[in-house]
Amino acid sequence: MTISTPFLRLLLGCSLVGLLACSRNPVTGKRELSLMSTEQELAIGKESHPAVVSSMGLYDDKKLTDFINQKGKAMAKISHRPDLPYQFYIVDSPVVNAFAVPGGYVYFTRGIMAHFNNEAEFAGVLGHEIGHITARHSARQQTSQMLGTLGMIGGAILVPQLGQNLEALQQGLGLFMLKYSRDHESESDKIGVEYSSKIGYDAHQMANFFGTIKRISDNSGQAVPDFLSTHPDPANRNTKVNQMATAYQTQNKSNYLVERDRYLRMIDGILYGEDPRQGFVENEVFYHPELRFQFPVPKGWQYQNSPAQFQMMAKDGKSAMILMLAKGSSLDEASQALVQELNLKVIESKRTTIHGNQAYVLISQQQTQQQPGQAQQQQDPKTALQIGTWLIEYNKAIYALHGLSTAGDFESAYRSFRPVAENFRTLTDQEKINRKPERVLVRAVPRDGTFRETMGALGMPASRLEELGVVNSMRPDDKVKKGSLLKIISR
């Protein structure tokens, strides 16, 4: 049976009309196509929250939690969507970040709370995150992605030769969506200025915090080109937010608050950096004091730790390892669950012991998913994902240590994976087991001087001057007055 091209166009157009609903954006006031209802937003937030808590954990500090809820609810009342059931949380992560989930869920890391230097900086970021929710950015992003995908599929149907370039088109759509996301960030910056100003805070401080973000980005050495970033350049945001704050305050005269000292006293003692109880890396070894194990980290590899898993990756990006808890109460159950869940084809397997612990080793490749009735697709042997897995039974739990690379690189990568797994062992060093976390401590400046001189007088090493400068939003030669408050970092 053949279908005419005009009929295909009509069919595609009718499908789009049936899929999409038109609504008015609460922030812009413009009518727009939307695939996500308010009820769906609420459901997404409710479903996402347990996963966020599971992966990051909540930071237990009642006074800070009460503070963000008080300010969050005050801001929610003056927002464009005051009827949403907003919820505000501090998650137990050292990363400097804040994010929002549809339905009114807003999260701040303890890392960003430690880097704010006044209530106004916090309020600006709070307004930015609530702005993502009120402007329905997740719904708009989903709709735009769907339209782009439908457009490409439709184009491939109507103009068959386009199908040959579908991969390139998808890459193009990906770059477009990055720009779309940057537009959302800029829109949320504007909303953040408005919302934080409306509850009485000086939005110029929000701009100042982008200076802190810029320093963190520069010091990490991981800056990406602006056109490939989901966020606008922090330096540009600093300038634009300052301009927006000035314009708002010119039109709305008031005594806008900063509240530096009150905020600093509130965060006095907050955890800083990695919490050693959840594991830490030192001298190319990962230690977990509470679970009492250790294993080496390959030299030069980057790593990231969370309550749910520990990840590390070679700098060239060609190989990585992940440690997590395995499913099952025995090695056999864990291996069967792993093969089934990840759709693995086992190439080799054997039982062994690792420093007295029973273990099971699998070398496998992940198979491509196919629809029922379809033949198994052939994979390129060089690019297929190959996994070396060590299942280790330790202290009544089973740990899975996965080494991942392409099949073409696996032989070389395995030479890095194997020493890591085979040196998984019990942690007995009491100094590591009893390691105390670092904390931000707030101290009064003992005498007039420069920031550099003050940090020295407060016992801070010169090697950490830039880090302390970032935390305090100060430069080495900035002048400080006796009695003013500054942060130091200490155990």
143 found inside a domain: yes
Asked if residue 423 and residue 298 are part of one domain, the reply reads yes
Q: What was the pLDDT predicted at 19? A: 36
Q: What was the pLDDT predicted at 315? A: 87
What phi and psi values does residue 453 have, to the nearest 5 degrees? -65, -40
Q: What was the pLDDT predicted at 163? A: 35
Q: What was the pLDDT predicted at 342? A: 86
pTM: 0.74
418 found inside a domain: yes
107 found inside a domain: yes
Domain that holds residue 180: 38-267
Q: What was the pLDDT predicted at 86? A: 96
Q: What was the pLDDT predicted at 147? A: 33
Is the per-residue pLDDT at 21 higher than 50? Answer: no
327 found inside a domain: yes
Is the per-residue pLDDT at 194 higher than 90? Answer: yes
213 found inside a domain: yes
How do strand 98-101 and strand 105-109 relate by DSSP bridges? Answer: antiparallel
475 found inside a domain: yes
Asked if residue 406 and residue 365 are part of one domain, the reply reads yes
Segment 170-186 mean pLDDT: 50
| Distance between CA atoms of residues 65 and 298, nearest Å | 38
Higher pLDDT, 175 or 339: 339
Percent of the chain's residues with pLDDT above 70: 77
Q: What was the pLDDT predicted at 295? A: 98
| Distance between CA atoms of residues 367 and 479, nearest Å | 62
Asked if residue 334 and residue 429 are part of one domain, the reply reads yes
Asked if residue 403 and residue 345 are part of one domain, the reply reads yes
Segment 41-61 mean pLDDT: 87
| Distance between CA atoms of residues 64 and 52, nearest Å | 19
Is the per-residue pLDDT at 6 higher than 80? Answer: no
**What tens digit of pLDDT does each residue of 257-308 get?**
999 999 999 999 999 998 999 999 999 999 999 999 999 999 999 888 888 8
1 found inside a domain: no
Residue 326 three-state SS: coil
Asked if residue 223 and residue 290 are part of one domain, the reply reads no
Boundary residue ending a domain (267, 286, 315): 267
Most confident of 128-137, 384-393, 449-458: 449-458
Tally the domains of the chain: 3
404 neighbors 417 (Cβ within 8 angstroms)? no
Is the per-residue pLDDT at 138 higher than 80? Answer: no
Boundary residue ending a domain (232, 267, 302): 267
Asked if residue 362 and residue 259 are part of one domain, the reply reads no
